[in-house]
Amino acid sequence: MPFAQHLLLTIYYVLLGIVAAVMLYRGFLILRYFMHPKEDEEPGARFPEEPVVTIQLPIYNEKFVVARLLEAVCQFDWPRDKLEIQLLDDSTDDTVDVSAHKVAELQERGFDVKHIHRTDRSGYKAGALRAGMAVARGDLLAVFDADFVPKPDFLRQTVDFFTEEKIGYVQTRWSYLNGDYGWLTQGMGMLMDGHFTMEQVTRSRGGYVFNFNGTGGIWRRQAIEAAGGWHDDTICEDTDLSYRTGLAGYRGIYLRHVDSPSELPVQITALKSQQHRWAKGLTECFLKLMPRIWRSDFSLKQKLEATAHLGANLAFPASLFMTIIGMPVLLVRLGMGSAGSFATLVDSAIFLLVFTTQFGFYILATRELHEDWLRRLRYLPFFPLIGVGLAVNNARGVLEALTGLRTEFVRTPKLGVLGGDRQLVKTRERTYTGGRDFWQAVVEIGFGCGYIYMAVVQAPFMIIGSVGTAIFSLGLFGMGGATLRALWIRRAALRAAAEPQVAPALEA
């Protein structure tokens, strides 16, 4: 076999090995779930009287949901003189006016609400939280993103854990206000349930560092200060701080049975923005923290867990590059005879590993959280399509991190739509779609066409594999097509807004 073909196959199997390692880790999480208690910890003691708590609400252009958020946190079951609310507003649109009006109303009702408006947005969310902490009254700092509607008993459920001095943060599970909106929110809800049930439970109760999820939780000020404060050199400032807090000797508490209701993205473009940020941010944390973690006093198990956790998104560029070289690899195999058959068997084994770990992971999480879990499993077929469809999007995020490319912190749009009002979604979604999404959509559709071509080449030799390849292309066509549709809607809206309005003629 020529050297070029050897090199091609070597690269392919290195990439396949990365994907297999991530899937084996996913399978390990399933096994580890059964090795630890399923019930939440209880506080070791109770505060004799309620401590002062500062609620931090970092927002950026959230005009559809900011009033709802402010109203929710003012309903907390906590003495008013022990509750401070900071609206950390980096907005550049009319959210500023909406916020100012709501804050003034709440102040008149006797709530300690402060509207802190920054005009430079330096450090993005981390910068806003850092600025708020500098003037906060409380030593306990609860954080909620704009799409959350926390329950009145949130502080009663979380604060007493801080009677233990080495508790640095408490994280609650996200639940979903609009989970029944459509197939996308149903599927994303199941995806997030996997993270909050399988990953967070096994890490927190196994003695590993687990990541604060950026919202729906509460921090001890001293833990943040001991870790060096909020850093803005990654776009997953929450994960970065979680690990630095662990290295400083603090630990977190995860409460699966205490939920914080939130709003899921109802647009594919919003989902892509969120997933890109998480993939890029975790990889930035991987590059930043791994040397420090491996030099630390963490146990070997903790170091391996941190490596697997923060490096898991490397599977996205690996799978993407496998797609790029997939066709020449297929052609080489077709000429390899029995060796090609063995290679196909290896691929089939890896595919089976991916299938069983992915589906087993989410089936178990759904069963653990929901009484109607069997009904919810009808959304499982969407997972492979969503996973393949996000490959380009998330791989771009990982590659940006690996190459050190700094980009703007792109927020996940929150539309404030909780029912099935699709017309309201169409009206509000025009506000948020970015122009740079066009070229990514073109690439996604191009990869979808590549999958179709591979399916045609495969068909005479392996009909089942050919059908699977063709089905996977639907995820890429769906992601790319939905983005182009959103861009068209926004362009039409901007064009309509730019046209002069003609006044109706007066009747004689």
Residues identified as active-site: 90, 238
For the beta sheet containing 83-89, the strands, ordered from the edge strand earlier in sequence to the opposite edge, are: 113-117, 83-89, 53-59, 140-143, 217-220, 167-176, 251-262
Of 215, 223, 113, 238, nearest in space to 161 by CA: 223
Q: In angstroms, rounded to a whole number, what is the distance separating the alpha carbons of residues 319 and 392?
A: 9
Structure-block tokens of residue 93? 């649109």
| DSSP reduced 3-state for 168 | strand
Share in percent of the chain as helix, strand, coil (round to 5): 60, 10, 30
Of 58, 56, 39, nearest in space to 254 by CA: 39
Of 138, 163, 164, nearest in space to 85 by CA: 138
Q: In angstroms, rounded to a whole number, what is the distance separating the alpha carbons of residues 193 and 156?
A: 24
Compute CA 284 distance to the chain's CA centroid, rounded to the nearest angstrom: 14
Structure-block tokens of residue 289? 């923290």
- In order of 183, 302, 389, the CA distances from 353 in angstroms are 26, 25, 20
Name the residue with tokens 């861009």: 487
Structure-block tokens of residue 136? 């906060």
Phi, psi for 262 (deg, rounded to 5): -145, 175
| DSSP reduced 3-state for 54 | strand
Structure-block tokens of residue 232? 């803005």
